[in-house]
Amino acid sequence: MNKGLLFDQHEGISRRDLLVMAGTAAATLASYRPSARAALGEGVFAIEEVKQGEDVFGYIGRIKGGFDQTAYQQVIGAANAFKEGDEAIEVGAEDETTRRNARALLANTKINDLHQRPLFEDDLHKLIWQTTDRAQYEKVKDWTMGQLKEFLLAEPEENIKGIMNGLTSDTIGFVPKLMSNEELVSLSQKIFNVMPGTRMGAKGYMGARIQPNSPTDHPDDIVWQVFDAFSYATGDIVIGTNPVDSTVASVVAVQRALKDIVDTFGLGEVIPWCVLAHIDVQAEVSDSFPGTVSTMFQSLAGTDDCNKIFDITNEKILKYARAKEGERYGLYFETGQGSEFTNGAANGVDMMVLESRKYGFSRAVGLELAKVQPSGAWLHVNDVAGFIGPEVFKSREQLVRCCLEDMVMGKLHGLTIGLDICTTLHMTVSLEDLDWCQDQIMPANPAYLIALPTKNDPMLSYLTTSFQDHVRIRERFGFKVNDAMWDFYKRIGIVGEDNSYTANYGDPLWVYYQYRLAKGDGRSKDAIYVEGGRKMREVEARGVDLATGHGEKIWDLNPTLAAKVKALYDDAKQSLWAELTPEFIAAVPDVVPVRTLSKDRNDYIAHPNTGETLGPEAVAEIERIRDAWGDGMPKGQIVISDGLNAKAIMDEGHLAPYLEEMRRLLAEAGVTMGDKNIMVTSGRVRAGYRIGEVLFENADPNSFRGILHIIGERPGTMHHAYSVYITVAKGKQWSEKKIDHDMTKLVSNVADTALAPKEAARETLTIIREIVGKDVNGSRRYG
Instruction: Say yes or no to pLDDT of 119 above 50.
Output: yes
Segment 239-243 shows an average pLDDT of 97
Query: Does this chain's domain 3-21+575-771 share its CATH topology with 186-296+373-398+405-565?
Result: no
Instruction: Say what percent of the chain tops pLDDT 90.
Output: 86
Q: What is the chain's mean pLDDT, rounded?
A: 92
Segment 667-679 shows an average pLDDT of 96
* Long-range contacts, 624-632 (Cβ 8 Å, 24+): 625/592, 625/674, 625/676, 625/678, 625/695, 626/694, 626/695, 626/698, 629/674, 632/672
Query: Is 414:164 a contact under the CB 8 Å cutoff?
Result: yes
DSSP category for residue 501: B
Q: What is the pLDDT of residue 246?
A: 86
Query: Is 29:343 a contact under the CB 8 Å cutoff?
Result: yes
Domain ranges of the chain: 3-21+575-771, 186-296+373-398+405-565
pLDDT, tens digit, for every residue of 483-533?
999 999 999 999 999 999 999 999 999 999 999 999 999 999 999 999 999
pLDDT, tens digit, for every residue of 718-738?
789 999 999 999 999 999 998
CATH T-level fold of 3-21+575-771? Rossmann fold (3.40.50)
d(CA 312, CA 427): 30
Q: For 670-694, give one letter per residue: b (16+ CB within 10 A) or e.
A: ebebbebbbbbbbbbbbbbbbbbbb
Query: Is 565:559 a contact under the CB 8 Å cutoff?
Result: no
Residue 125 dihedral angles phi and psi, to the nearest 5°: -60, -40
Angle between helices 396-412 and 431-441 (to 10 degrees): 30
Query: Is 474:480 a contact under the CB 8 Å cutoff?
Result: yes
DSSP category for residue 502: -
Q: What number of other Cβ atoms are within 10 A of residue 652's Cβ?
A: 8
Instruction: Say yes or no to pLDDT of 136 above 60.
Output: yes
d(CA 96, CA 374): 49
Q: What is the pLDDT of residue 454?
A: 98
Q: What number of other Cβ atoms are within 10 A of residue 517's Cβ?
A: 15
Q: What is the pLDDT of residue 49?
A: 94
Using the Cα atoms of residue 498, residue 499, residue 505 and residue 510 in order, give the sign of their dihedral. positive
End-to-end CA distance of the chain: 23
Q: What is the pLDDT of residue 9?
A: 29
Beta strands in 560-699 (DSSP E): 591-595, 636-641, 673-681
> Which CA distances in Å does 748 have to 23, 222, 323, 648, 759?
8, 17, 32, 12, 11
Residues 6+ away with beta carbon under 8 Å from 11: none
> Which CA distances in Å does 113 have to 95, 117, 143, 567?
27, 7, 10, 55
DSSP category for residue 533: H
pLDDT, tens digit, for every residue of 329-345?
999 999 999 999 988 89
pLDDT, tens digit, for every residue of 207-231?
999 999 998 899 999 999 999 999 9
d(CA 561, CA 556): 10
DSSP category for residue 4: G
d(CA 614, CA 686): 10
* Long-range contacts, 59-67 (Cβ 8 Å, 24+): 59/105, 67/117
d(CA 621, CA 619): 5
d(CA 774, CA 43): 47
pLDDT, tens digit, for every residue of 417-476?
999 999 998 888 999 999 999 999 999 999 999 999 999 999 888 999 999 999 999 999
Query: Is 739:689 a contact under the CB 8 Å cutoff?
Result: yes
Comparing C-alpha atoms, which of 523, 520, 493, 487 is closest to residue 505?
A: 493
Rg for the chain (alpha carbons), in Å?
26
Q: What is the pLDDT of residue 25?
A: 31
Q: What is the pLDDT of residue 402?
A: 98
> Which CA distances in Å does 596 have to 183, 321, 684, 691?
44, 44, 9, 11
Q: What is the pLDDT of residue 776?
A: 35
Q: What is the pLDDT of residue 244?
A: 86
Residues 6+ away with beta carbon under 8 Å from 278: 16, 17, 25, 26, 246, 298, 311
Q: What is the pLDDT of residue 152?
A: 98
Q: What number of other Cβ atoms are within 10 A of residue 475's Cβ?
A: 12
Residue 285 dihedral angles phi and psi, to the nearest 5°: -60, -45
Comparing C-alpha atoms, which of 346, 418, 340, 411 is closest to residue 384?
A: 418
Residues 6+ away with beta carbon under 8 Å from 230: 489, 492, 494, 508, 511
d(CA 690, CA 684): 10
Per the DSSP assignment, residues forming a β-bridge with 273 are 239
Q: What number of other Cβ atoms are within 10 A of residue 504's Cβ?
A: 19
Bridging pattern class, strands 92-93 and 423-424: unpaired
Q: What is the pLDDT of residue 374?
A: 84
d(CA 156, CA 47): 35
Residues 6+ away with beta carbon under 8 Å from 539: 218, 220, 221, 224, 546
Residues 6+ away with beta carbon under 8 Å from 186: 153
Bridging pattern class, strands 92-93 and 44-45: parallel
Instruction: Say yes or no to pLDDT of 38 above 60.
Output: no
What stretches of 169-217 show up as alpha helix (H) in DSSP?
169-174, 181-188
* Long-range contacts, 514-519 (Cβ 8 Å, 24+): 514/265, 515/227, 515/261, 515/264, 515/265, 518/264, 518/265, 518/266, 519/264
Query: Is 609:687 a contact under the CB 8 Å cutoff?
Result: no
Helix (H, G, I), strand (E, B) or coil at 282: helix
CATH T-level fold of 186-296+373-398+405-565? TIM Barrel (3.20.20)
Segment 21-34 shows an average pLDDT of 32
pLDDT, tens digit, for every residue of 348-360?
999 999 999 999 9
d(CA 481, CA 465): 16
